[in-house]
Amino acid sequence: MSRANTFLALLLVLSLTLAGLVFFGRPEADGPPGLKDFQLRGLAARFGLTDLSLWTEARYTRHPSQSDRFSAFQDFPGSFDHFPAGSIVNPPASVPTR
Amino acid sequence: MLRHLKILEFAVAATLRHKGRNLAILVVYSLVITILASVLFLTRGLKEEAQRVLAGAPELTVQRLIAGRHDLIPTSYGSILASVPGVGRVTPRFWGYYYDSLTSCNFTLLGLSAGGGDHLELLAGRLPTGSGECALGSGVATARRTEIGDDLVLIDSHNLGVSFEVTGIFAAEAALLTNDLLLLPETDLRVFFNFPEGSATDFEVQVFNPQEVATVAAKIKQRLPDTRPITRSEILRTYDSVFSWRSGILLTVFASALLAFCILAWDKATGISAEEKREIGILKAVGWDTADVLELKVWEGLILSLTALLLGLIFAWVHVYWFDSTLLAPVLKGWSVLFPRLVVTPHVDLYQLFVITFLTVTPYVASTVIPSWRAASADPDSMMRS
């Protein structure tokens, strides 16, 4: 029965490792949890920031929420374009789908 | 219970008999789960982050549309906006984009209206107070190799170099919002971009009662038909759909990899070898019934898939939350020259874990059990002779 027990022990160790990562193994963060989000929210409110600074290659990827509704070849998340991000960013929720 | 344990013991021994083959499957299987889980963890993390952070975004942003495109808005619209019942402070915003040919980066320039000089938790130094000063996002500072006290030279709309003294740099923790940001005093920004007199980029509108935002937006649209009010909930909805895990090229591409793995698993399982058939035949001949053989095969499938699932989830967790999605970042980065580190707050979603388990464990166990079920129901004698 040793092999079965070894396998079950392996499963237990892996499960405990995963649980440990989920509950205790979070990367070190300065200050109490949620402080960074609170501070970032404060920045957004202080400067009136509307979008995340992730993709800077085009207006509609830098400010997806402020982009034009549509103009040919540009400024419309989800339209055909030459930027890879355009295929990752979905159209806004307000755009009706058929 | 003991019977099940004995069958498990037999299954482990059978798995170890084909060490090389099973190890190869385990590696590929874990990798597939790692990629799938990484994509789901990251997109979910970014979605949550956007919801939390952008809760501080303006309640209402009003921009002007001309010929279907965003255009500068007359500052005289401010008084009309302020006259809408329920509207509080109306602030014109001055911002725009700047392509820096030196670093091939796009920066977002934002004008600071009043105040300034104050210290912020996530800002080293201070905000600009007077003309000729600026504060930078960490991405801009890194790209231009600039520190506090240095001069930053930008080319204005008259094609002349303008020098700004750096008074503050945002911390790397704030990069999600400020990575490409360059804060200038409003007057400097207007001169820099040569803004026409009496115009702004858009308006930030405060609404006293959050329940009235939609009504206020409708009234603004009525009074100023050439404007487009964007509510905070629309911004949040946009980000909700941007990071929707159900779509996105990453998962679409990955779906084919998952399918390829399923075909591999199916091929491995359906191509049940003569040796395995003989083994099933012998087991049945010595008294095992079909249910026992099937249980053995379920265990064989579970041994590999549960190990791969747990290993894959652990690797994905470490990859996304400890190593900031190093492997996925180049795909997500697109053509952005300035791209912040993807630091997301860990978030556990049981539904997501269920999706990962269902998409990976079920096909493998099914493709292990189904062909063996056919073999197990056949006559032991014919199985041993095959």
Would you put residue A75 in left (φ > 0), alpha (ψ -120 to 50) or beta?
left
Of A3, A33, A59, the CB nearest to B12: A3
Beta-strand pair B105-112/B181-185: parallel
Contacts of B322 (CB under 8 A, 6+ apart): A27
Q: What is the pLDDT of residue B383?
A: 65
Predicted interface score ipTM higher than 0.85: no
The Cβ of residue B4 has, within 10 Å, a number of other Cβ atoms equal to 12
Chain A touched by B337 (CB under 8 Å)? yes
Model confidence pLDDT, tens digit, residues B218-276 = 999 999 999 999 999 888 888 887 776 445 666 776 777 777 777 777 776 666 667 77
How many Å apart are CA B37 and CA B312, to the nearest integer? Answer: 8
Beta strand extents in chain B (DSSP E only): 60-66, 69-71, 73-74, 87-93, 95-100, 105-112, 123-125, 133-136, 151-155, 161-170, 181-185, 199-200, 202-207, 227-231
The Cβ of residue B329 has, within 10 Å, a number of other Cβ atoms equal to 15
Nearest residue of chain A to residue B246 (CA atoms): A90
Mean pLDDT of chain B: 84
Quick one: pLDDT band at residue A84, thresholds 50, 70, 90?
Answer: low
Model confidence pLDDT, tens digit, residues B15-50 = 888 888 888 888 988 988 898 888 888 888 888 888
Quick one: pLDDT band at residue B174, thresholds 50, 70, 90?
Answer: confident
**Token couple for A56:** 């800077």
Record: contact A4-B12, CB cut-off 8 A: yes
Quick one: pLDDT band at residue A79, thresholds 50, 70, 90?
Answer: very low
SS3 A98: coil
Are A92 and B266 spatial neighbours (Cβ–Cβ below 8 Å)?
Answer: no
Q: What is the pLDDT of residue B97?
A: 92
Instruction: Decide if pLDDT at B67 tops 90.
Output: no
**Identity of residue B217:** A
A-facing residues of B in 161-180 (CB < 8 A) are 173-180
How many Å apart are CA B361 and CA B32, to the nearest integer? Answer: 11
Contacts of B71 (CB under 8 A, 6+ apart): B63, B64, B65
Q: What percent of chain A has pLDDT over 70?
A: 57
How many Å apart are CA B70 and CA B95, to the nearest integer? Answer: 13
Model confidence pLDDT, tens digit, residues A9-52 = 999 999 999 888 888 766 655 556 677 778 888 888 888 899 88
Record: contact B93-A48, CB cut-off 8 A: yes
H helices, E strands: number in chain A: 4, 0
Q: What angle do CA B145, B166, A63 make, to 5 degrees?
A: 80
How many Å apart are CA B320 and CA B82, to the nearest integer? Answer: 45
**Token couple for A61:** 């990827």
Nearest residue of chain A to residue B118 (CA atoms): A46
Record: contact A54-B105, CB cut-off 8 A: no
**Sign for the pseudo-dihedral over CA of B164, B170, B176, B177:** negative
Chain A touched by B97 (CB under 8 Å)? yes
**Token couple for A76:** 């419309």
Contacts of B224 (CB under 8 A, 6+ apart): B62, B77, B80, B81
Instruction: Indicate the range of B124-128, B247-251, B369-373 predicted with least confidence.
Output: B247-251
Record: contact B240-A56, CB cut-off 8 A: no
Instruction: Decide if pLDDT at B92 tops 80.
Output: yes
Are B165 and B147 spatial neighbours (Cβ–Cβ below 8 Å)?
Answer: no
Query: Which residue has 């796009």 as its token pair?
Result: B106
Record: contact B340-A70, CB cut-off 8 A: no
Instruction: Decide if pLDDT at B310 tops 90.
Output: yes
Chain A touched by B122 (CB under 8 Å)? yes
Q: Identify which of A59, A65, A83, A45 has the alpha carbon closest to the alpha carbon of residue B108.
A: A59
Model confidence pLDDT, tens digit, residues B191-208 = 999 999 899 999 999 999
Residues of A in contact with B140 (CB under 8 A): none
Record: contact B68-A59, CB cut-off 8 A: no
